Structure 1
Amino acid sequence: MQPLAGPDLPHTQPRPMHWLVTAAALAAVVAAASFVQPPDATATTSGDAGTGRQSAAAPDPAKATFPVDCGPHRLDVVTRASGDLDGDGTAETVAVVRCHSEAGTPPSGIYVLAQPADAKAAPRIVATLLAPARKLSVEDFALRRGVISATLLGYSTTDVPRCCPDVRTAVKWQWKGGKFVQSELPATSSTERA
């Protein structure tokens, strides 16, 4: 069979916009894959090992109600870690949550949960470290020796594609003076790190 003679059809010639759309879609898939973890994944924890103290079970974030509106989508607990954050002898749980999405990266929330005296009661939120309204994503989350740390991913302008955050901020929270105190390093853009 001989190929058809004549000019190529206009839709068969790739244009720069086609490559841009393809690159953006690929970047979105890669970014989404980097955030996908099993719902029961846990981060590094610092418990009461070696202290001889017996503490009650840490609050289960699956039983908590978070102030996040996901519409028809479910809320995912992306990661969690437990430890005695305020030195009262009971374990708290820090949970990173976000709305479920098959594509893209919905903003994250970070909440500290405590278990009420009634062990059958649902855990309650005692602190909001990061509200989803700030439109940031969480990476490198950890809890070590009572210090909560994470890298927050965001955008320098509204022109930056939502698939590709270009600002990273290393943040930590620690219980001091009856509250969680946040400290952070200066934000860096991806061009500054290159």
Structure 2
Amino acid sequence: MQLSAGPDLPHTRSGAVHWLSTAAVLAAVVAAAALVQPADASTKDGAADAKPPRPTVPAPDPHAAKYPLTCAPGASVDVTASVKDDMDGDGRPETVAVVRCQSDTGTPPNGVYVLSSAKSGKGAPKIAAMLVNPRDDRQVTGLYARGAVVGATVLGYSSDSTPRCCPDMKRDYTWEWRTDTYVAIPGAAPGSI
């Protein structure tokens, strides 16, 4: 003998209203759970939303540094570009500066220097590294810094007869901080501008 299922009971049928009300209650429970935190929850001990500590020493002022340039008598040193970042990971920002001797005519060569400040933050910035030597007769554009990497485009001349107003060679460079020194990483071989 087989048992008959009989008529459907009202509580066993599901309709649109039943499913909508169930979804609404479930959404309310999930939202409430997301908003409620335990009483001992905090943002310390390396929590993802904790802000990194601000540097206690400001980045070196590129205009306050003394650069090893031999300029004409009475000519000042121009800082044509600078960027700031913590490049060596010590928690104190460095400044990278592109500098040249001031000139009313011609295009003097650029030097690129990494500046660091004293631990106290007082006194003139110190030159920590020279990335481009002005004696190499180069122009530098597009300076940037991202963490341990400094990058720029270095312009040069294919011969001594090329006018110094108009560099005709271009190469991108990056300098990467590795084990207490900057390592130059040249881009593709130089080509004609």
Deviations 1:131-161 (A, max 9, x none): 1000000011111233111111110111211
Deviations 1:46-75 (A, max 9, x none): xxxx85121121011111111001122110
Q: 1 CA distance for matches of 2:103 and 2:128?
A: 27
Match of 2:19 in 1: none
1:61 paired to 2:47: no
Match of 2:135 in 1: 133
Q: Which has the higher contact order (CA 8 A, sep 6+)?
A: 1
| TM-score, normalised relative to structure 2 | 0.70
Q: For the pair shown, which has the larger CA radius of gyration, 1 or 2?
A: 2
Match of 2:87 in 1: 85
Q: Which stretch has the larger CA shift, 57-66 or 139-148?
A: 139-148
Q: SS where residue 135 of structure 2 aligns?
A: helix
Runs of 4+ in 1 over 6 A off after TM superposition: none
86, 96, 99: which one pairs with 2:98? 96
1:178 paired to 2:180: yes
Percent of aligned positions that are identical: 41
Q: CA RMSD in A?
A: 1.3
Q: 2 CA distance for matches of 1:119 and 1:144?
A: 22
Q: 2 CA distance for matches of 1:180 and 1:109?
A: 15
Q: Which runs of 5+ in 2 are unaligned?
A: 1-49
Match of 1:33 in 2: none
Match of 2:119 in 1: 117
| TM-score, normalised relative to structure 1 | 0.69
Deviation of 1:189 (Å): 1.6
